[in-house]
Amino acid sequence: MNESINPPFPPALTPHLIELRLWRQFVAVAEELHFGHAATRLHMTQPPLTQAIIQLEKLLGVRLFDRTKRSVQLTATGQALLPVVLDLLARAQALPAQARAAAAGEVGRLRLAFVSTVGFVQLPQWVRAFRELYPQVQLDLLEATGDVQLQGLERGEIDAGFMLHAPGFAPAGLARLLITQEPLVLALPEHHPLAIQAVLALSDVLAEPLIIFPRRIVPSLFDAIFALYHAAGCLPAVAQEAIQMQTIVNLVSAGLGVAWVPESVRQFQRSGVVYREVLLAQHGPGTRASAMPGCETSLVWRHEGISPTLARFVEFVRD
């Protein structure tokens, strides 16, 4: 019967940290099951390696190896610990590359808010392409109106947002990247008498009941629409307010009124609704009528504390 040479076993020393060096030495012995071979593999002599394993066992308060004069075997505890330690060492080895990737914005988390009009076409395409390029970036998407986005940016709850606004408007204190410019078109019920016309004149629609978003949602665009009516010498007959563009279009389909919407809303194919271009005025025989004012969508974010991941996304969208 082989004589055991396991050392006396004291209680754990409850260390604050066990160095990776000790874990690497544990793995070498566990895989070689021979202190001499493990020492050669680690480019060291056997006595320091033996002392290192004894130190590790003291730190843990558990026995990792059963030793005799002829053999070294993992204990059940050592067998259970080995795959965990291998994973730990693999993660430690990957840390430098992960640090460089994080600094380059290729790893991390990005919290993006967006208005529904961006979600129809652009956003799904960008999300797919960005994830293909940077699969280690976690994208959290939140559909939110402009007022909610501004609150989220101020509180640090989102990193950036796609926001709808009037042309040239820039939210105070925020960086802005212009994404799209598009005209406003009129959504009206498909059975409305004006729906038979391909192009409408503004004077034809001024008296129509209007469905519009509350001013707090997109104040710059709300004011631009009201200014259009004021310039024509009248006030809009607001029939209903609604927050989401899909809801506004659904209300138009139900016959509650007409609505000014970005042209991209045409992508939201709702039965019972048609979209028409509206011209402001004809300036004279043979001249082209002037078009309606439009709207813009921008990516906005706070100037200070921009993360590498957000900087990477901004450049991606810019390109």
Ordered by where they begin, the domains of the chain are 20-103 (1.10.10.10), 108-178+297-318 (3.40.190.10), 181-294 (3.40.190.10)
Q: Identify which of 105, 160, 167 has the alpha carbon closest to the alpha carbon of residue 137.
A: 105
Pairing of strands 160-165, 237-241: unpaired
Euclidean distance between CA atoms 217 and 222, whole angstroms: 8
What is the residue-averaged pLDDT of the chain? Answer: 87
Residue 41 pLDDT > 70: yes
Task: Give the per-residue pLDDT at 92.
Answer: 86
Residue 150 pLDDT > 90: yes
Euclidean distance between CA atoms 170 and 300, whole angstroms: 9
Residue 5 pLDDT > 90: no
Residue 215 pLDDT > 90: yes
Contact 195, 274 (CB under 8 A): yes
Pairing of strands 174-189, 273-281: antiparallel
Pairing of strands 65-67, 273-281: unpaired
Angle (nearest 5°) at CA 111 between 108 and 116: 145
Task: Give the per-residue pLDDT at 112.
Answer: 94
Euclidean distance between CA atoms 153 and 302, whole angstroms: 7
Q: List CB contacts of 310: < 8 A, sequence separation 6 or more.
A: 105, 110, 159, 160, 301
Task: Give the per-residue pLDDT at 1.
Answer: 46
Percent of all residues in the chain with a pLDDT value above 90, rounded to a whole number: 66
Higher pLDDT, 98 or 80: 80
Q: For 280-311, what is each residue's pLDDT tens digit? A: 764 445 444 455 778 999 999 998 878 989 99
DSSP H helices in the chain: 20-32, 35-41, 46-60, 76-103, 116-120, 122-133, 146-155, 202-205, 219-231, 245-253, 308-318
Q: Identify which of 119, 14, 116, 6 has the alpha carbon closest to the alpha carbon of residue 60.
A: 14
What's the token pair of residue 213? 């978003």
Euclidean distance between CA atoms 222 and 271, whole angstroms: 26
Euclidean distance between CA atoms 200 and 186, whole angstroms: 9
CA distances (Å), origin 194, targets 198, 204, 282: 9, 8, 18
For residues 115-142, average pLDDT:
88
Contact 179, 162 (CB under 8 A): yes
| Residue 274, beta-bridge partner list | 188
Contact 85, 93 (CB under 8 A): no
Buried b (16+ CB within 10 A) or exposed e, 133-156: ebeebeeeeeebbbbbbbebbeee
Task: Give the per-residue pLDDT at 291.
Answer: 58
